[in-house]
Amino acid sequence: MKYDVIVIGGGHAGCEAAHAAARTGALTLLITMKIDSIGQMSCNPAIGGIGKSHLAREVDALDGLLCKVADNSALQRRKLNSRKGPAVQATRIQTCRDTYKMVMQSTIASQKNLSTLEGVVAKLLISDGIVTGVELETKDKIISKTVVLTTGTFLGGVVHIGDKSFEAGRSGDKSSKDLDNFFREKGFNVKRLKTGTPPRIFKNTIKFDNLEKQDSDVNNPHISFLYDQYNQTPEHITPIPCHITHTNGETHEIIKSSQHLSPLFNGKINSAGPRYCPSIEDKVERFSDKNSHQVFLEPETLSDKEIYPNGLSTCLPEQKQLEFLHTIKGLENCIISHPGYAIEYSYFDPLGLNKYLQTKNISNLFFAGQINGTTGYEEAAAQGIIAGLNAASFSKNKEMWCPLRSESYIGVMVDDLTTLGVTEPYRMFTSRAEYRLKLREDNADERLTDKGYAIGLVSSERYKLFINKADKIKKETIRLDSIKIFPGTTTSTTIEKKFSLKIQKPQTMKTLLRMSDIQYSDLIELDTFGKTSNSDIGRLVAINERYAGYLKRQDVEIEMISSSLNKKIPASIDYSKIKGLSNEAVEKLKMVLPLTLGQASRIPGVTPAIISLLKIYIKKHALQ
């Protein structure tokens, strides 16, 4: 059978890519080493968190899988930064990894136009610079118009535990060595990164009595719009609390004295790891002034037999792992079920991609996930949905798409990767986005669902739910604007006493929301408020009203910048012919091949003067 899209890899990037391609009508094949490992959560079984939930909600706004599956397998639900502004608030769902995998596999299996195949891809079939399909280890050939590569840590993966090293995609799975060699032979810019995971601990060997308990938030937040703002109901499973403990001086002393046994310090690993999520060996070395580090003891499955000690990633020998664990409060008698390890793997320099995650030297080949130098389920899923969509579009000769930097965290991430490249595993932070107030997690659907529906990613059923929500926001805004509050009334007196202010002229409920101390929940308590069907809709109305002035100024700023920097750079441009450009500038522009002046402006070393020269040259020569 001939396919429109072949997706290699069944992790988060692969699942989203295959499902997205199939949703648009492309005949899609997902090839994975083990079908029963599709949707495997190799590291911490959690979705969301600071910065990451913004990406996850954007995937959900485009009708992707990540958030829906997480909500249907949740063991704990929390809203982070709830006391801070809405731009940096984030939802985090601790999931049952077994249920998550089961729900993901069921969703993949039931998707129209999508098939799965168990096998190992040894190489791509290439003819005249175009991928025509793939060849498996068995020598079987499968034909396709496009290919999406989402191999995670499997590409040339090597696991390290103390002095033991072995080839693996993750512990217990083989690595994709043939495919790694194939791309090196084809001249791709292949580099190496590393990541790691902590040991898993049998729960019945932990003493929780004197540890800090952390339950789900009382209001049980959801991460998918389906269950958060669209009033659908997910499958609920019994919640399980997390617990908090800490390392101490004794722990650190054992780790310090064992540095020579760690591949991170004895020269066996030279690849860069995630700076923002270091191993416990790195933490003890880099933050030597700290006497302790926080450790979250998180459940992994509904069976509740194993615990994930978040914050203790390590690749020390297993005996040393057990030794330092036994110094930690609550873990004095713990038994390890699986040791922690570090894994080195190959990735491709994302400067070799355009904003559609399409490789520059092979037009019908797309990359997504850790293969592009990122880390995290959410980053992988977000790339997957873009790569899968664009592979499907390319196979049908349709226009490709990626959201802009000014309208999404997905756009920020893709632009960062394809313009700046990576030297360490890339993780999303809210600080990476220039327009954080506009790019909140709670309004991702307002920013992207319309666009997703127009290009065939979002189903009509999902779109109707979104339209219904938008209608509720509009009606509640009008309703609040129609309720007048006059000076000297019982309502105005109540407000004045509670918030120490003076109402001197008629106000509406809507204008009251502009005052920083007044929340939507405060208005509900007023006698004149009336009835509302959904308090969360009201919270969105309140956010829109409170920040309306800031958002308007931000939109004007975006428009001013966009009018100039969104100007496309013609593919036919020859940078070496532009007078005034230094050799360094020409080299950088040729390497990145920016699609717009805005992308060119974010290349390190490309100054405003260089952008001016580009604008003048394009206009003077009327390049198309």
Determine which of 62-76, 139-153, 227-241 has the lowest per-residue pLDDT on average: 227-241
Strand partners, 509: none
* Whether the predicted pLDDT of 537 surpasses 90: no
- Which parts of 455-572 fold into alpha helices (H)? 460-482, 490-499, 509-512, 520-524, 535-546, 548-565
Over pLDDT 90: what percentage of the chain? 72
pLDDT band at 535 (very low <50, low <70, confident <90, very high): confident
pLDDT at 396: 97
pLDDT at 534: 66
As a whole number, the mean pLDDT across the chain is 93
User: Interior CA angle at 293 toward 288 and 297, to 5°?
Assistant: 155
pLDDT at 60: 98
Whole-angstrom Cα distance, residue 444 to residue 3? 32
Query: What are the structural domain ranges in the chain?
Result: 2-196+345-458, 461-551, 567-620
What is the arithmetic mean of pLDDT over 451-461? 97
Collapsing DSSP states into helix, strand and coil, what is residue 524?
helix
Query: Parallel, antiparallel, or unpaired: how do β-strands 141-149 and 365-367 relate?
Result: parallel
pLDDT at 518: 86
* Whether the predicted pLDDT of 533 surpasses 60: no
* Whether the predicted pLDDT of 125 surpasses 90: yes
124 sits in which H/E element: strand 121-127
Which CATH number, 1.10.150.570, 3.40.50.620, 1.10.357.10, 1.10.10.10, labels domain 567-620?
A: 1.10.150.570
Contact (CB, 8 A) for 105 and 38: yes
CA of residue 280 relative to chain centroid, distance = 24
Which CATH number, 3.50.50.60, 2.40.30.10, 3.20.20.150, 3.40.190.10, labels domain 2-196+345-458?
A: 3.50.50.60
| CATH code, residues 461-551 | 1.10.10.1800
Return the amino acid letter for 50.
Answer: I
From residue 1, alpha-carbon distances to 124, 374, 388, 601 in Å are 16, 33, 19, 45
What is the arithmetic mean of pLDDT over 60-72? 98
Whole-angstrom Cα distance, residue 411 to residue 558? 14
Contact (CB, 8 A) for 457 and 400: no
Among candidate residues 269, 268, 267, 273, the one with its CA nearest the CA of residue 370: 273
CA of residue 218 relative to chain centroid, distance = 26
Burial readout 10-47 (b: 16 or more C-beta within 10 A, e: otherwise) = bbbbbbbbbbbbbbbebbbbbbbbebebbbbbbbbbbb
User: Interior CA angle at 559 toward 623 and 64, to 5°?
Assistant: 90
What does DSSP assign to residue 358?
B
Q: Give tens-digit pLDDT for 393-443.
A: 999 999 999 999 999 999 999 999 999 999 899 999 998 998 888 999 999
More confident position, 17 or 175: 17
Q: Residue 452 is encoded by which pair of tokens? A: 């997703």
Contact (CB, 8 A) for 90 and 145: no
**What's the longest Cα–Cα distance across the chain?**
85
pLDDT at 455: 97
pLDDT at 532: 66
pLDDT at 560: 75
* Whether the predicted pLDDT of 615 surpasses 90: no
What are all long-range contacts of 513-519, with beta carbons under 8 Å and residues at least 24 apart? Answer: 513/480, 513/541, 513/542, 513/545, 513/546, 514/545, 514/546, 514/548, 516/546
Over pLDDT 70: what percentage of the chain? 99
Determine which of 74-83, 216-225, 503-512 has the lowest per-residue pLDDT on average: 503-512
pLDDT at 141: 97
